[in-house]
Amino acid sequence: MAKSKGDGATAKTRGEAIGVITKGSLVEGLEMKLDSAQNVEDMKAGKFVVIEGDKNDFFSMVTDMRLDAKNQEVLLHPPGREDDILRKVLAGTSTYNIVSLRPMLMMPKGAVDDDGPRPVKAIPSHFSEVQEAMEHDVAKIFGKEGDPEGRYFSIGNPLDMDTQVCLDMIRFAERSNGIFGKTGTGKSFLTRLALCGLIHYDKAVNLIFDMHNEYGFKAMKENGSSSTFVKGLKQLFGERVAIFSLDPQSTRARGVQADHEVYISYDQITVEDIAPLQDELRLNPTAVESAYLVYAIYKERWLRTLLALEGPDVEEFAREIGAHAGSLVALHRKLKRLENFPFMVSKVTDGDVVDRIMEYLDKGINVVLEFGQQTSMLCYLLVANIIARRIHEMYVKKSERFYATQRTEDQPRQLMITIEEAHKFLNPTAAKQTIFGTIAREMRKYYVSLLVVDQRPSSIDDEVLSQIGTRITALLNDEKDIQAVLTGVSGTEGLRSVLASLDSKQQALILGHAVPMPVVVKTRDYDTQFYKDMGCLDDLPEAERKAKIDKGTVALYGDN
């Protein structure tokens, strides 16, 4: 039984002993016999504990717990409800609790700061004491917000603890990331948090395809029966966020003027943009080939030409260009749907929207593209594809130039593109056709990464999933989804149970590139305190606010 509190040197500010290690292996994780004074109900999956070995401290996560009994007799004749003493006597002796732990990181005892945590390559000896992790343990591993580099962004607290878990924003920005969770588990909030971190610490400029108008200006907070509104990115970061809108009216109706209205001309749509819409438009494979035939002759005017035709003329047109009539007729009929979109115009008047977006991004202004009432998947897919493809081309060019000149001023800003309902873009068929598949796979070297928001990770292409650096995952129930989220992460056996047992609100498992070890957090409140931390201008006194805006403007646009 664990009685001693360690000898002087080691007995620094650690939590109380909760048990001792009794068996386990490096591969399968460790088992701890819970101290009989502890209540097994306090051991929640995902809890963060420290195993104090002889030479190392092992930072571990609770993954499972089990009730066990020394002999069957006890289980056949359990003590009665009133037999309190006997129950107490049996607790920890004949009946005991085993808690499975997964060591995530180890740190040599007495290590100085730069000798940080390392991957686990050893296991603690028998009867090593297990303690609850303390604030300084967590800070040692996850860093602390407010470092001079602005590297760490607090995303929440570990379970049952009052200390920060920080994401390493530099690492977060340099790879594609995923935010997953069933519907209603707070994906949007997690996404908004992550975006706030990126924008506040200026680690990446963001392009957000905001399908449900949740990020730009005001968003509804689901709060049981009553709903309240929280601030959007525009309100928090002012000049540093620009709202582009496909549906300016809707944007206005929500009380904000879009910085730019988005119109897309038919000439901006290429066949590659249509190809990923196969599912949504129910095109058959030959339709795309027919489209290529039209494109071969009319180049960028292909869609305009095709849509200008009236029903009966299409067959003749097909014969002219040597396409299969039936197929082209079907394509024509289905593409007619595009004409219904109000943002589709025959000619754009105030410049190419992608150039404008690029201009903003170059200045470091984050762009939220709102879809207003255009919430159809077709619209979202089409627009996101068109814009992302062009942005991608530009970024490739910029990066190539930087590689050629190697001048720091040519270095492109790290760009993170946020897409929702990501499995529509990244499912195994679409991932090969949409530009997002390419970005997820190889765009890291071109300074573009994705922030994938999705409720059905199992539908995302494995190849893409395995490239996702950091996964922030709210509750998932479906076995396939859990499997998918854990794809490409080693040592995840224990995490399944953790993932399936998260609360449906404000809890998330974070694993991957931006955190040294997987951790369950109670996510940070998105409240006034948070607004303040993010430097929100609204609540500041007028003079201070103005000074700050001016300063921001100078930083963005230069002195004049």
Q: Which of residues 479-508 bind another protein (CB under 8 A)?
A: none
**Which CB sits closer to another protein, 96 or 180?**
96
In the complex, least distance from residue 93 CB atom to another protein, rounded to whole angstroms: 4
Q: Check binding of 94 to another protein (CB under 8 A).
A: yes
In the complex, least distance from residue 517 CB atom to another protein, rounded to whole angstroms: 36
Q: Check binding of 68 to another protein (CB under 8 A).
A: no
Q: Check binding of 560 to another protein (CB under 8 A).
A: no
What would the two tokens of residue 132 be?
């609850």
Select the span of 20-28, 73-81, 223-231, 333-341 touching another protein (CB under 8 A): 73-81
Q: Check binding of 92 to another protein (CB under 8 A).
A: yes
Residue type, 544: E
Q: How far apart are CA 462 and CA 196, in angstroms?
A: 28
Q: How far is CA 359 from CA 199, 362, 442, 551, in A?
A: 17, 5, 24, 20
Between β-strands 344-345 and 264-265, what pairing exists: parallel, antiparallel or unpaired? parallel
Q: Which of 42, 73, 115, 442 binds another protein (CB under 8 A)?
A: 73
Select the span of 47-55, 83-91, 204-212, 527-535 touching another protein (CB under 8 A): 83-91
**Which CB sits closer to another protein, 73 or 442?**
73
**Which CB sits closer to another protein, 89 or 170?**
89
**Which CB sits closer to another protein, 80 or 541?**
80
Q: Which of 33, 35, 36, 415 binds another protein (CB under 8 A)?
A: 36
Q: How far is CA 436 from CA 135, 508, 512, 514, 556, in A?
A: 39, 25, 20, 21, 29
Select the span of 75-83, 100-108, 303-311, 318-326 touching another protein (CB under 8 A): 75-83
**Which CB sits closer to another protein, 90 or 369?**
90
Q: Which of residues 271-290 bind another protein (CB under 8 A)?
A: none
In the complex, least distance from residue 71 CB atom to another protein, rounded to whole angstroms: 5
Whose tokens are 């201070």? That residue is: 544
Nearest to 121 by CA among 109, 104, 137: 104
**Which CB sits closer to another protein, 77 or 121?**
77
Between β-strands 448-454 and 415-419, what pairing exists: parallel, antiparallel or unpaired? parallel
In the complex, least distance from residue 69 CB atom to another protein, rounded to whole angstroms: 9
Q: How far apart are CA 161 and CA 133, in angstroms?
A: 9
Rounded to 5 degrees, what angle do the CA atoms 164, 168, 170 make? 155
In the complex, least distance from residue 22 CB atom to another protein, rounded to whole angstroms: 15
DSSP string, 2-49: ------TTS-SS---EEEEEEEEETTTEEEEEEPTTS-GGG--TT-EE
Q: Which of 23, 70, 252, 282 binds another protein (CB under 8 A)?
A: 70
Rounded to 5 degrees, what angle do the CA atoms 288, 291, 294 make? 160
Residues in CB range of 339: below 8 A, 6 or more apart = 307
**Which CB sits closer to another protein, 3 or 126?**
3
Select the span of 74-82, 224-232, 248-256, 435-443 touching another protein (CB under 8 A): 74-82
Q: Specify the DSSP class assigned to residue 524.
A: P
Q: Check binding of 336 to another protein (CB under 8 A).
A: no
Q: What are the backbone angles phi and psi of residue 260, rounded to the nearest 5°?
A: -155, 135
**Which CB sits closer to another protein, 95 or 492?**
95
Residue 494, CA atoms < 13 Å, CB-side half-sphere:
28
Helix (H) or strand (E) holding 320: helix 311-321
Q: How far apart are CA 473 and CA 458, in angstroms?
A: 13
**Which CB sits closer to another protein, 94 or 483?**
94
In the complex, least distance from residue 33 CB atom to another protein, rounded to whole angstroms: 14
Q: Which of 15, 22, 40, 89 binds another protein (CB under 8 A)?
A: 89
Q: Which of 93, 340, 405, 504 binds another protein (CB under 8 A)?
A: 93
User: With contact defined as beta carbons under 8 Å apart, do 174 and 444 qualify?
Assistant: yes
Q: Check binding of 428 to another protein (CB under 8 A).
A: no
Q: Check binding of 543 to another protein (CB under 8 A).
A: no
**Which CB sits closer to another protein, 95 or 157?**
95
Select the span of 92-100, 153-161, 178-186, 513-521 touching another protein (CB under 8 A): 92-100
Nearest to 120 by CA among 135, 108, 132: 108
**Which CB sits closer to another protein, 94 or 286?**
94
User: With contact defined as beta carbons under 8 Å apart, do 214 and 526 qualify?
Assistant: no
Q: Check binding of 86 to another protein (CB under 8 A).
A: yes
**Which CB sits closer to another protein, 79 or 150?**
79
Select the span of 69-77, 175-183, 298-306, 454-462 touching another protein (CB under 8 A): 69-77
In the complex, least distance from residue 77 CB atom to another protein, rounded to whole angstroms: 7
Q: Does residue 330 come out as left (phi exceeding 0), alpha (psi in the -120 to 50 range) or beta?
A: alpha
Q: How far apart are CA 192 and CA 215, in angstroms?
A: 7
Handedness of CA 344, 346, 351, 354 (dihedral sign): positive
Nearest to 201 by CA among 256, 264, 146: 146
Q: Three-state DSSP class for 82? A: coil
In the complex, least distance from residue 29 CB atom to another protein, rounded to whole angstroms: 27
Q: Check binding of 77 to another protein (CB under 8 A).
A: yes
User: With contact defined as beta carbons under 8 Å apart, do 292 and 271 qualify?
Assistant: yes
Q: Which of 16, 28, 83, 149 binds another protein (CB under 8 A)?
A: 83
Site residues, another protein (CB under 8 A): 36, 70-71, 73-74, 77, 79, 83, 85-86, 88-90, 92-94
